[in-house]
Structure 1
Amino acid sequence: MSKKQKQDGKKVRPRQESAPGGAAAGKERSIFKPDGKLTRKAYEKALHDLHVELVKLQMWTQKTGARVCIVFEGRDGAGKGGTIKAITERVSPRVFRTIALPAPTEREKSQMYIQRYIRHFPAAGEIVIFDRSWYNRAGVERVMGFVDDEHVRYFLDMAPGVEKAMVDSGIILLKYWLEVGMEEQTRRLAARIDDGRKLWKLSPMDLKSYSRWYDYSRARDAMFKATDSSWAPWYVVHSDDKKRARLNVIRHLLHHIPYEAPKREKVELPKRQKRGDYVEPDYPWKVIPDTVGTPPNAS
C-alpha cells in the first residue's frame, strides 16, 4: 500500500475506476469502448483468468465429491446461453453438465411437476447448470397460459421447501436472474431474424413472449417475492453488456463456492517409444480437402 493510501494509520479504499467520461486513469479507460462497454481484448484476458479458476473448481469438485446446482433464468435474449457457454467452454462436460429440457412429454405431464428436474440434480463430483429450470412454471408457463393460477400458487409455495431440502442435503445451490433491458432485448431478438446462425433461437414462442413484457415483469416479481429465500436467494445480473454480465456471474459463483486449488505434482511428458519394426502403411487415406476461403456450399 502506498503512502497516499494511508491516512492516520488507516487503510483507504482505492478509488473505483470508471468507464470513459469519468475520472479514470488512461490505462484503465483503455479497457472500455466509447459506449462504455468492455473491449474484446480486456474481456478475453479476464475470461482466460476466470477459466483457470473454473478448472480449479472442477478439480476440487471431483476430489471432494461436492455437488453444485446453478440455475439461470431470465427473459428471452437475456444472455443465458452465452453466459453458460462462457462458464463451460474450457471445462469437462462430464463434470459441468448443462440441462436444457424440451417441452414435457405426455408422460412427464402426468408426473409430479418437480419430478422431471430432480433426476438431473447433481451427484457427487458434478456441477449441474440449468438453462431454465423448474422456474418455468413461474415464468413462461404462467405468462403463456399453459397452467392456471392455482398450479402457479402451489409451485411458489412448494419451491422454497424443495430448495431447502436440496441445500440441507449438501447441494450448493445458486440462482441467477439475467435482467435485460427492453431496448436491448428488442435489438437482440431483431438481430436473430437476419442472422442464419441464430434462426434456431427465434421460435414462435419467443415472438409471443416478446409481446408480453409486463406480464413477464409481474411473473418475475411474484417469483422473487415467493422464492427469494435466505437459503436459496436470487442473484440479479444486469446483462445489457453481455461481456460484463458473463464475467460478473463467473466471479460471483467462484466466490460463493468454497473451492480450493488442488496441489499438483510436476508434470513432464514421457519419452516416446522407439519406432522399432513399425512401417507407415501405403493406405489411400480419404483426406478432407482444404476448402478454407471457398463458399460453404461450393462443390
Structure 2
Amino acid sequence: MTEDDDRALDWLEAELQDTLDEDIEIEFSEPMLSREIRKIYLREHPEMLGREVYFRNLLRLQAELIKVQDWVQHTGAKVCILMEGRDSAGKGGVIKRITQRLNPRVARVVALPAPSRREQSQWYFQRYVPHLPAGGEIVMFDRSWYNRAGVERVMGFASDDQVEQFFQDVPEFERMLVRSGVILLKYWFSITDQEQQLRFLMRIHDPMKQWKLSPMDLESRRRWEQYTKAKEEMFARTNIPEAPWYIVEGNDKKRERLNCIEHILSKIPYEEVPTEKVTLPERVYNPDYERQVLPDELYVPKVY
C-alpha cells in the first residue's frame, strides 16, 4: 500500500467520523424537558428502537435512496410522494432523513404556505401543479392538496360544497398523474391521541421546539375527533387502486422513519445504474503563480 493510499484511508476514516457526528447531531432531539415530563415520556416508550440498530439501518437505506436518485436521473422517472398526518406526527423527520444525502437538484421538498387571495380564486389544484416532478425529479410534498380534506375542512376554511367537489375531483386528478407516468405515493403518518399530547407538551416545555407550535396546531389538538372523522372519510373516498394510501405508525419515530423509507424503496422499480469509475485529474501547477496574502478582516474570527 502506497503512502497516497494510506493518506486516502485516513481521509476516508475522518469523513466517516464526520458523517457519524452529523447523524448524531441531527438525531440530537432530546428535549429540554422537566424531569417529570421526561419520566412520563420514557415510561410511555419502553421499547423504542435502539440507536445502534437505527443508525445501521438508516445508513443502509440512505445508500439505497442514492441508487433510486441515480435511477430517476438516468431513466427520467417522475416520483411524487405525499406526506400527510396530524401535527407532530413526524412527517418532517422522515423527509429530513430521506433527503439528507440526496442531491437537492433531484430531490426537493414542497411545503406551500397558506394560499393567497388570488390562489383561493383559482382551480384548487392549480397551485400544486407547478411543483409536480418533471422527468428525473423526486418531489416530496410536506402536506399536499389533501389540506382541503383535513385542515381546511376541520377549521372551516373550505365550505361543504368545496370539500365535496374536492372528493369528486381528486381521484381523477391522481389518475391523470399516474397515466402521465408519475409514480405517486401517498403516506399518512399515524400517532395516537396520547402520543400527540406528549409531543405537544414536549414542544411547550422545550425552548428549542416552541416555534413548532402555532395557534393552528393548538386548535387542532382541541379538535382531535373532528380530524379523525375527516381522515376516515378521506381514506374512504380517495384510496383508489391507482394511488392507494399507506399508513405509517409513528409513535416510535425511529421505526417510523425506517419503515417508511423501506416501503418507498419497495414501491419504486429502481435498478442500480452502472457508473463510470471516477478518477481524480492531476492538479496543474504554475511555477510562476504566487498566492496573494488576503487582509485579516476578510476572515471569520476563530472563536472556536
Q: Which of 161, 165, 180 does residue 176 from structure 2 map onto?
A: 165
Runs of 4+ in 1 over 4 A off after TM superposition: none
Which position in structure 2 is the counterpart of 1:56? Answer: 67
- Number of residue pairs matched? 259
Write the distance in 2 (CA, Å) between the matches of 1:275 and 1:212.
70
Q: Which of 233, 242, 253 does residue 222 from structure 1 map onto?
A: 233
1:199, distance to aligned residue in structure 2 (A): 2.5
Per-residue deviation, residues 268-290 of structure 1 (Å, max 9, x unmatched): 22222224222121221422233
Which position in structure 2 is the counterpart of 1:288? Answer: 300
Which position in structure 1 is the counterpart of 2:41? Answer: none
- The CA RMSD over aligned residues, in Å, is 1.2
Amino acid at match of 1:238: E
| 1:136 equivalenced with 2:169 (yes/no) | no
Share of identical aligned residues, percent?
Answer: 53
1:41, distance to aligned residue in structure 2 (A): 2.0
Per-residue deviation, residues 129-153 of structure 1 (Å, max 9, x unmatched): 0000000000000111111211111
Which position in structure 2 is the counterpart of 1:25? Answer: none
Write the distance in 2 (CA, Å) between the matches of 1:218 and 1:278.
72
Which position in structure 2 is the counterpart of 1:193? Answer: 204
Which has the bigger relative contact order, CA under 8 A and spacing at least 6? 2
Output aligned runs, 1:172-251, within 5 Å. 172-251=183-262
Write the distance in 2 (CA, Å) between the matches of 1:204 and 1:153.
27
Which position in structure 2 is the counterpart of 1:29? Answer: none
2:124 partner SS? coil
| 1:155 equivalenced with 2:166 (yes/no) | yes
Write the distance in 2 (CA, Å) between the matches of 1:125 and 1:152.
33
Write the distance in 1 (CA, Å) between the matches of 2:158 and 2:75.
41
Amino acid at match of 1:83: V
Which position in structure 2 is the counterpart of 1:38? Answer: 49
Amino acid at match of 1:54: L
Greater Cα offset, 248-257 or 38-47: 38-47
Amino acid at match of 1:165: M
1:42, distance to aligned residue in structure 2 (A): 1.6
1:192, distance to aligned residue in structure 2 (A): 1.3
Which position in structure 2 is the counterpart of 1:264? Answer: 275
2:55 partner SS? helix
1:130 partner SS? strand
Amino acid at match of 2:215: P
Write the distance in 2 (CA, Å) between the matches of 1:44 and 1:281.
45
Amino acid at match of 1:291: V
2:54 partner SS? helix
Q: Which runs of 5+ in 2 are unaligned?
A: 1-44
Write the distance in 1 (CA, Å) between the matches of 2:200 and 2:283.
53
Write the distance in 1 (CA, Å) between the matches of 2:290 and 2:127.
54
Q: TM-score, normalised to structure 1's length?
A: 0.84
1:180, distance to aligned residue in structure 2 (A): 0.7
Per-residue deviation, residues 115-137 of structure 1 (Å, max 9, x unmatched): 00111111110111000000000
